[in-house]
Amino acid sequence: MKGKTWVIDSNAFIHFGNLAKEEFKVDLSKCLQKNESSLNVTSGVHGEVRNVRFKVWEGRPNLLETLQDILVTSEVSDAEIRSVASTIGEKAAPQDVDLSLMILAARFHQDGKKVTLVTDDFKMTTTKEKAGFGFDTCPPSTFLFRISEDIEGKPSTRMKTLSRRVRSAEMRYAISRAAEYDVQSKLTWLVDSLLTSRPSLPSPTNEAEEKDEKEVMVRTLQRILRGEKVKTSRRKKLGKLPEICYPASDIDKSLEKILEMKEVTDLPGIYADLVDISRSCQESIGLGLASLDDSIAGIAHRATAGPLSRLETVLGMLSGLLGRQELSRLHLSRSLYLSSLSLDDVAELKTLNQLGLLSLSSESNERAAELFDKANELSIDRGHPNLTYLIAAALSRFLSGDDEVANSQLQQARKQIEENKEGSIEQLLKLAYSLLGVDRPWFALEIFDEALECAVEVDSPKADEIKEMLLLANTAATGVEDRQLIKIREFLDKLNKVSSDMKKDVKSSQEAIRESMEDQENYEIEYWDDWREADKLLVDDSTLRIVRSEIDDEGRVLLIVHHSQFGGLGVFIPDDAPEVSPNQNVKLSGTRIKVAKPPETLVEKQNIKGIVALETPEALLVSLEQSVFD
């Protein structure tokens, strides 16, 4: 990205202040120097971010003061802003500061410079054409990724890591606004901006060809399968391999369709479709390779291992969500093997994590520890966040009786959290949701509680979400917290040390949660034995979160679900129950219901205060939030 002119908006600096570590300024300066690029703002940006600080830096320094020597500030007159606003239309126009940045970017573009406006405000992208501006736009995460491409070593790795964290924040914010506007176009733009900036695999040089011809052929075949253009001479060297391996090029397209869904439904149908794709792809490629030399077939195996590994990972996750645990383990084991062939560390991390969770759910604690240890080691080696795997490894070691290693790993995790409490919240939530998904609610309760402490300390908007999840985990946690559970939760309670000046606020928040739990336990619901509309119980047509499912000897199912107002309910399904797992959502719309008082033994065993019968069980809508595939 040599000689690039970047115009940066206020939101980008807010992201940097929230997430960037202390090496950020040095790394950014190196990138700009290497790329011969400049960072430009208007005086209006100074006004909007004058109080922004680097939150995880020691002393929390002011962002503008820290970066002032690498920023170029320009003035844009009010007359220019009003003129552009009039052209766009006052109601449709962005805010004045954003307009000033668009005008500045247009000036640079008219001067013949390569200019990109960095903003996560999609409105600036959609309205720039109305004003006749020809500059490019990209979100802050893509900016970080692009400027890191021409440098090497730790600065490049750190900038790419920051890019991923900012990308996650951009996605979460966009999705949180789904009730206010259609976010699909913005999400597509966020993803496309990164895809278009992804560097192509380097064209093989003569030196590389001489050194490792097979490696060059693998890379060339991968590029062809991704739809990239390659030299005819290189294609010819592959012979029939591009045609033989072509079915693998459809795998990622099929997976992307799932990721584009706002809400994932019909999990058995999706699983069956993906199994068909896997079977058809492998049969077709296998037949094509059957008559070829082993060395040539090996090139095909390595080139197709990446998409096949990603497909097996998704199949493993889906089969786990459908309660097919052994099948899930088989898919994930295949994925782990394939990811080692393709050197796809992201797929490998996801697979190791899922296998670790499966082992944890079956109380194979030593095996879980080995898997989480490997995930932790790989994430550190490849520059990915490792806190989730580190805590999971510590918990697994503690459960297996290896206290010394467990305490050492817990101390490492505690140090990470202390250094970046805000950044740790998402990792803690990821682990807590996973623990709920493998029916370990007592452990999830403590992790959610640690996340809440961090959220209160840094005044995070995540606090309300965590409070709701604590209530859900309380519904899921049946039985009595025995001595062993108390010991485990005391171990996990050491993860976060609350700062002395925030202890009062944290204690107040925890007391409010306990009061909410008591309110749920004391909340009385109405029972009736005639068919009535579901909204008589769920006035707001709210979604229920599945906690677990219980099946009796006759195949009848009782779904244990959580409602934010009155806690646990049992949804009775006499037959043909859908395959479900914890963390999925259900809606009762489309059927009338009856509500019965559960027997006392069921109240104690399942922590529910009502049993719901469905007049038309087939109308039950089961769905899954997209975040499960993150």
Q: Which pairing describes strands 114-118 and 136-138: parallel, antiparallel, or unpaired? A: parallel
Instruction: Write the pLDDT tens digit of every residue in 426-449.
Output: 999 999 988 988 888 899 999 999
CA distance 508 to 488: 24
Answer whether residue 114 shows pLDDT above 80: yes
Q: Are residues 187 and 222 in the same domain?
A: no
Number of structural domains the chain divides into: 4
Closest CA to 190 of 102, 107, 119: 119
Lowest mean pLDDT among 113-117, 310-314, 475-479, 510-514: 475-479
Domain boundary among 495, 522, 549: 522
- Does a structural domain hold residue 565? yes
**SS3 label, residue 50:** coil
For the domain that residue 54 is a member of, what is the CATH number?
Answer: 3.40.50.1010
pLDDT tens for 5-37 read: 999 999 899 999 989 999 999 999 988 888 788
User: For residues 574 and 494, which has the higher predicted lDDT (pLDDT)?
Assistant: 494
Across all residues in the chain, what is the average pLDDT? 82
Is residue 515 located within the same domain as residue 534? no
| C-alpha to C-alpha distance for 162 and 168, rounded to whole angstroms | 10
Same domain as 490, residue 533: no
Q: Is this prediction's pTM over 0.85? A: no
- Per-residue tokens: 452: 């809440």
Are 247 and 289 in a shared domain?
A: yes
The CATH number for 595's domain is 2.40.50.140
Indicate whether 402 belongs to any domain. no
The reply to whether 432 and 483 lie within a common domain is yes
Q: What percent of the chain has pLDDT over 90?
A: 16
> What percent of the chain clears pLDDT 70, i.e. is strictly above it?
87
User: In angstroms, what CA-CA distances link 258 with 175, 279, 353, 378?
Assistant: 16, 18, 21, 27
Is 174 inside a domain boundary? yes
Cβ 513 vs Cβ 456: under 8 Å: no
Per-residue pLDDT tens over the stretch 282-297: 888 888 888 777 778 8
Interatomic CA distance for residues 32 and 13, integer angstroms? 16
Which structural domain range is residue 607 located in? 528-629
Using CB atoms within 10 Å of the CB of residue 235, give its burial: 0 to 12 exposed, 13 to 18 middle, 19+ buried: middle
Residues 149 and 286 in one domain: no
* Residue 386 covered by a domain: no
pLDDT above 50 for 202: no
pLDDT for 379 beyond 70: yes
Domain end (from 140, 171, 197): 197
Do residue 432 and residue 563 come from a single domain? no
- Domain membership flag for residue 351: no
Task: Classify residue 518: in a domain, yes or no.
Answer: yes
Would you say residue 154 has pLDDT above 50?
Answer: yes
User: Do the domain assignments include residue 277?
Assistant: yes
Helix/strand/coil for 199: coil
Residue 264 and residue 183 share a domain: no
pLDDT score recorded for residue 197: 44
> And the tokens for 559?
């779904």
At 185 the pLDDT is 53
Distance CA 105, CA 149 (A): 23
In this structure, the answer to whether residues 228 and 273 fall within a common structural domain is: yes
Let me know whether 150 and 34 are in one domain.
Answer: yes
Q: By C-alpha distance, which of 531, 543, 549, 538 is closest to 591?
A: 531
599 and 462 belong to one structural domain: no
261-320: pLDDT as tens digits:
766 777 788 889 999 998 999 888 888 888 777 778 888 888 888 889 888 888 888 888
Q: Is 245 helix (H, G, I), strand (E, B) or coil?
A: helix
Are 471 and 562 in contact by the 8 Å Cβ rule? The answer is: yes
**Single residue among 503, 522, 541 that ends a domain in this structure:** 522
Q: Let me know whether 425 and 475 are in one domain.
A: yes
Give a yes or no: residue 173 inside a domain. Answer: yes
Q: Residue 257: exposed, middle, or buried by beta-carbon count in 10 A (0-12, 13-18, 19+)? A: exposed
